[in-house]
Chain A
């Protein structure tokens, strides 16, 4: 069981919005930056969000994120079928001295 808690799955129809939560504690999310990764089927994990809310170049503004206290949230608007993927939050844990990943959320676009 992951230290960072994500919902196992979310689903929505094309064009809609989804949010995915990531819950941790003061050793990880509470005092460190959060990243989000998109893992498309058969592909390599890809950085979507870094430092809580920043998008790397090439990531559309349909993807956004925020952090409050010991939780973080990823939001995806204007869903497309090509967005179907596993999504992971990640952050440094100052006590364990590792990067922790959430258990992953499977996004289904119906």
Chain B
């Protein structure tokens, strides 16, 4: 089992950027994990944003997030990052990181990071 600890809540202005971190402990070499980011807007369901495979540095994104979301990872610190640029008010949400296991099972989740976009 992997423990994932995310950075704290953020309040951002529309048009700005936010970078959320997700640090892993336990569960073997970080580079062997696949880390995904999932968003939940208020009153809405879960939404897959994208994932990274640190061992090969490969990322892929859901189409709606391709232009403004960047997912990176630093294996030396066992940390994955998710950055959203050009924030919009409707992107106020809780952002979760999660470990992707076999069959795309999200077995371990971070505690979530609340991002509020407001002027």
Residue A99 is within 8 A (CB to CB) of chain B in the complex: yes
Residues of B close to A102: CB separation below 8 A: 45
Determine whether the beta carbon of B46 is less than 8 Å from that of A88: yes
Determine whether the beta carbon of A33 is less than 8 Å from that of B109: no
Asked, given contacts A44-B96, A98-B62, whether A50 binds B105 with beta carbons under 8 Å apart, the answer is: yes
CB-CB nearest in chain A for B46? A101
Interface range, B side: 20 to 34
**A-side interface residues toward B, CB under 8 Å?**
2, 32-33, 35, 37, 39, 44-47, 50-51, 56, 86, 88, 90-92, 96-104
8 Å CB interface, B90-116 against A: 96, 98, 100-107, 109-112
CB-CB nearest in chain A for B4? A44
CB-CB nearest in chain B for A57? B1
Smallest CB–CB gap between B112 and chain A, Å? Answer: 6
Q: How far is the CA of A99 from the CA of B45 in the complex (A)?
A: 13
Smallest CB–CB gap between B104 and chain A, Å? Answer: 4
**B-side interface residues toward A, CB under 8 Å?**
36, 38, 45-48, 60, 62-63, 96, 98, 100-107, 109-112
> Could you show 8 A-B contacts with beta carbons less than 8 Å apart?
A44-B96, A45-B38, A45-B46, A51-B103, A98-B48, A99-B36, A102-B45, A104-B45
Determine whether the beta carbon of A2 is less than 8 Å from that of B45: yes
Residues of B close to A47: CB separation below 8 A: 105-107
* A51 partner, pick from B45, B47, B63, B105, beta carbons under 8 A: B105
* B103 partner, pick from A35, A37, A44, beta carbons under 8 A: A35
Residues of A close to B104: CB separation below 8 A: 32-33, 35, 90-92, 99
Q: Give 13 new A-B contacts, CB below 8 A, not counting A45-B96, A99-B106.
A: A33-B105, A35-B105, A39-B46, A44-B110, A44-B112, A47-B107, A90-B104, A99-B36, A99-B100, A101-B47, A103-B45, A104-B45, A104-B46
Residues of A close to B106: CB separation below 8 A: 35, 37, 45, 47, 90, 99
